[in-house]
Amino acid sequence: MQVYLISACLLGVRCKYNGGHNYHPGIKKLNVPFCPLCPEQLGGLPTPRTAAELKGGDGFALLAGEARVLCKDGHDLSDSFKKGAEQTLYIAKLLGIKKAILKEGSPSCGLKTIKDGSFQGISRAGPGVTAALLLKEGFEVYSEKDLEYIVKNRF
């Protein structure tokens, strides 16, 4: 059975920027081996930490050097987010993991949506930094919104 990389906050780990979590009850139904991790903590950021958003593009754009991850006050956290994504990939490779379930909407873990960089709660299409790196590396990446689909299709 294949192991899934799962955003730790979806499992109830209090690694979210505000010290909270994003526990999702659907995770219990998965019944698969998994490795929980938080890319932003792996990037060396503290918890709690200042909220940050991608500015100038999505995670792919950041990896290409065309976007940045900024706090509301303009503090640049791009290097930490990139490091977190790289460390996540490193762990996944160590464990032979090729599938991930990540938290939608996060500047690191978001798969289909991220915030638009305005800090107004507005979403835009595109993956976060870690999701982008895993997709680039050929991983199967899902979000918590796909849990029912994964359980139903048993993969």
Residue from 7, 80, 88, 113 touching ligand SF4 (CB under 6 A): that is 7
38 C-beta neighbours (distance < 10 Å), count: 23
Residue 15 is a binding residue for ligand SF4 (CB under 6 A): yes
Query: Contact letters (x/-) for ligand SF4, 101-140, by CB under 6 A?
Result: --x--x-xx-------------------------------
Minimum distance, C-beta of residue 155 to ligand SF4, in the bound complex (Å):
22
Q: Which of these ranges, 2-10, 70-78, 85-93, 141-149, lies near ligand SF4 under the rule CB under 6 A?
A: 2-10
Q: How far is the CB of 22 from ligand SF4 (least distance, A)?
A: 6
Q: Which of 108, 113 has the CB closer to ligand SF4? A: 108
Interface with ligand SF4, residue 8, by CB under 6 A = yes
CA of 79: how far to CAs of 3, 45, 56, in Å?
28, 11, 15
By CB under 6 A, residue 45 contacts ligand SF4: no
CA distance 99 to 48: 28
Q: Interacting stretch for ligand SF4, rule CB under 6 A, among 32-40, 86-94, 113-121, 137-145?
A: 32-40
- DSSP letter at 144 equals G
Rank residues 10 and 150 by Cβ distance to ligand SF4 and give the closer one: 10
* DSSP one-letter string for 9-57: GGGT-S-STTS-----GGGGGT-S-EEEE-HHHHTT--SS---EEEESS
Q: Which residues contact 37 (CB under 8 A, 6 or more apart)?
A: 5, 6, 7, 8, 88, 91
Cβ atoms 131, 99 nearer than 8 A: no
The site for ligand SF4 (CB under 6 A) is made up of 7-9, 15-16, 38-40, 103, 106, 108-109
